[in-house]
Structure 1
Amino acid sequence: MNARLLQQSAQCRDTALAIPLKEGDGWTTWDLTPAQVDTLAAHERLVRMHPVTATRWRLKARDRVGAVRLGSGDGTVQLTITPKVPVDRLLHLVAYAPDRVHFDPRPVTAEARPDLLPALAHAYVSATERALLHGVLHDYQETYDTLPFVRGRIRHADQLRRRPGVPVPLEVVYDDHTPDIPENRILLAAARRLLRVPGLDPGARAGLQRLTARLEGVHPLPVGAPVPRWTPNRRNTRYAHALVLAELVLRGGSYELDGERDIAVDGMLVVMWRLFEAYLARAVGEALRHRIGGRPEPQDRTFHLDTAGRHVLKPDLVHYLPSPHDRVLRQAVVLDAKFKTGPERDDLYQMTAYCVRLGLAEGHLVYASGKPGTVQVPIGGSLLTIWRHVIDLARPWRALAADIESLAETIDDARSARTV
Structure 2
Amino acid sequence: MRTLRLREWTTTHALALTARERDTLRTVLRATVQPTTGSTDRYDVTPGNTIGAVLVGETNLLIEPKIPISRMLFLLGYAAEPNAWRHDDATLGAAPDLVTGVVGLFTTLCDRALRRGILTGYRSVEADLPTVRGRINLAHQLRARPGLDLPLAVRYDEHDEDITENQLLLAAALKLRNLPLRGDTIRRSLHRLIDSLQNVTVPIYRPAAIPIVTWTRLNLHYRPAVELARLLLRMHSPDLASGSTETPGLIIDMAVLFETFVRASLREALHASPDQFPSGDNCPPLTLDAQGRVRLKPDLSYWPHGQCAFIGDVKYKRDTGPGQSSDLYQLLAYATATQLPAATLIYADGPPEPHIHQIPAAKVNLYVQHLDLTKPPKDLLQQIDHLSLLVMAAGEGTQTPTGARRQSR
Report if TM-score (shorter chain) is over 0.5. Answer: yes
Query: Which of structures 1 and 2 has the bigger CA Rg?
Result: 1
Separation in 2, partners of 1:45, 1:235: 23
**One-letter amino acid matched to 1:243:** V
In structure 2, what is the equivalent of residue 335 of structure 1?
312
Amino acid in the other structure paired with 1:27: T
Does structure 2 retain, via aligned residues, the 8 Å contact 1:124–1:245?
Answer: no
1:57 corresponds to 2:43: yes
Bigger mean CA offset, 23-32 vs 363-372:
23-32
Q: 1:47 to 1:227 in 2, by over 3 A?
A: farther
CA contact (8 A) 1:186 1:243 kept: no
Give yes or no for the alignment of 1:69 onto 2:59: no
Counterpart of 2:212?
237
Q: Pick from 302, 308, 316: which aligns with 2:299?
A: 316
**1-structure distance, mates of 2:97, 2:51:** 14
Segments of 5+ residues of structure 1 without an aligned counterpart are: 1-12, 99-108, 127-135, 144-149, 154-172, 191-219, 250-264, 323-328
Structure showing greater relative contact order (alpha-carbon pairs closer than 8 Å, 6 or more residues apart):
1
* Distance in 1, Cα, partners of 2:29 & 2:167: 35
**Distance 1:43-1:293 versus aligned 2 partners, 3 A rule:** closer
What are the superposed Cα offsets for residues 95-121 of structure 1, whole Å, 9 maximum, x if unpaired?
4667xxxxxxxxxx9688579946985
5+ residue gaps, structure 2, are 81-95, 114-119, 136-153, 172-192, 215-222, 233-246, 400-409
Contact 1:34 1:55 in 2 (8 A): no
Partner of 1:139: 123
C-alpha deviation, 1:395, in angstroms: 1.6
Report the equivalent of 2:358: 377
The CA distance in 2 between the partners of 1:88 and 1:120, in whole Å, is 16
Cα–Cα, structure 1 residues 283 and 120, in superposed 2: closer, same or farther, change >3 Å? farther
1:354: how far off? 1.1
Whichever residue aligns with residue 292 of structure 2, its letter is G
Residue of structure 2 aligned with 1:364, choices 344, 347, 364: 344
Alpha carbons 2:123, 2:163 under 8 Å: kept? no
Structure with more strand by fraction: 1
Q: 1:373 to 1:44 in 2, by over 3 A?
A: closer
| CA displacement at 1:50 relative to structure 2 | 1.5
Rate the CA distance shift 1:396–1:138 in 2: closer, same or farther, 3 A: farther
Are 2:306 and 1:306 equivalent residues in the alignment? no
Give the direction of change, closer, same or farther, for the CA distance of 1:292–1:362 in structure 2 (3 Å limit). farther
TM-aligned CA deviation for residue 413 of structure 1: 4.0
Count of residues in Structure 1 that have an aligned counterpart in Structure 2:
305
Q: What one-letter code is carried by the residue in structure 2 that aligns with 1:69?
A: L
Pick one of 46, 50, 73 that aligns with 1:91. 73
**Equivalent in 340, 347, 370 of residue 327 of structure 2:** 347
- Paired AA for residue 307 in structure 1: A
Give how far 1:81 is off.
Answer: 0.9
Contact 1:373–1:389 under 8 Å retained in 2: yes
Give matches, 1:141-180, under 5 Å. Answer: 175-176=156-157, 178=159, 180=161
Name the aligned partner's letter for residue 299 of structure 2: D
Compute the RMSD of aligned alpha carbons.
4.6
Match of residue 219 from structure 2: none
TM-score under structure 1 length normalisation: 0.58
Residue 317 of structure 2 aligns to a residue in which SS? coil
C-alpha distance in structure 1 between counterparts of 2:19 and 2:106, whole Å = 42
Aligned with 2:303: secondary structure?
strand
Q: Is the 8 A contact 1:88 1:397 kept in 2?
A: no
Q: Secondary structure at the match of 1:298?
A: coil
Aligned partner of 2:249 in structure 1 is 267
Native 8 Å contact 1:297 1:318 kept in 2: yes
After the TM superposition, which residues 7-156 of structure 1 pair with which residues of structure 2 at under 5 Å, given as runs?
A: 13=1, 17-33=2-18, 36-37=21-22, 45-51=30-36, 52-70=38-56, 72=57, 77-95=59-77, 117=104, 138-140=122-124
* Alpha-carbon offset, residue 415 of structure 1: 3.5
Change (3 A) 1:142 1:57: closer
User: Quick one: distance in 1 between partners of 2:46 and 2:382?
Assistant: 34
CA distance in 2, matches of 1:305, 1:111: 41
Decide whether the 8 Å contact of 1:140 with 1:177 is kept in 2.
Answer: yes
Inter-CA distance 294–121: structure 2 relative to 1 (3 Å threshold): same
2:316 and 2:395 map into 1 onto residues whose CA distance is 24
Which structure 2 residues correspond to residues 206-245 of structure 1 after superposition, within 5 A?
223=196, 225=198, 228-230=201-203, 236-238=211-213, 242-243=225-226, 245=228
Report the equivalent of 2:182.
Answer: none
Aligned to 2:260: 278
C-alpha distance in structure 1 between counterparts of 2:364 and 2:395, whole Å? 12
Correspondences of 1:289-304 after superposition (within 5 Å): 290=271, 295-299=276-280, 300=283, 302-304=285-287
Tell me, in whole angstroms, the C-alpha distance in 2 between the residues paired with 1:44 and 1:121. 27
* Alignment check: 8 A CA contact 1:23 1:62 kept: yes
Alpha-carbon distance in 2 for matches of 1:142, 1:294 = 33
Give, in whole Å, the separation in 2 of the partners of 1:359 and 1:123.
Answer: 45
Query: Which stretch of the first structure deviates more once superposed, 181-190 or 340-349?
Result: 181-190
Q: 1:226 to 1:26 in 2, by over 3 A?
A: farther
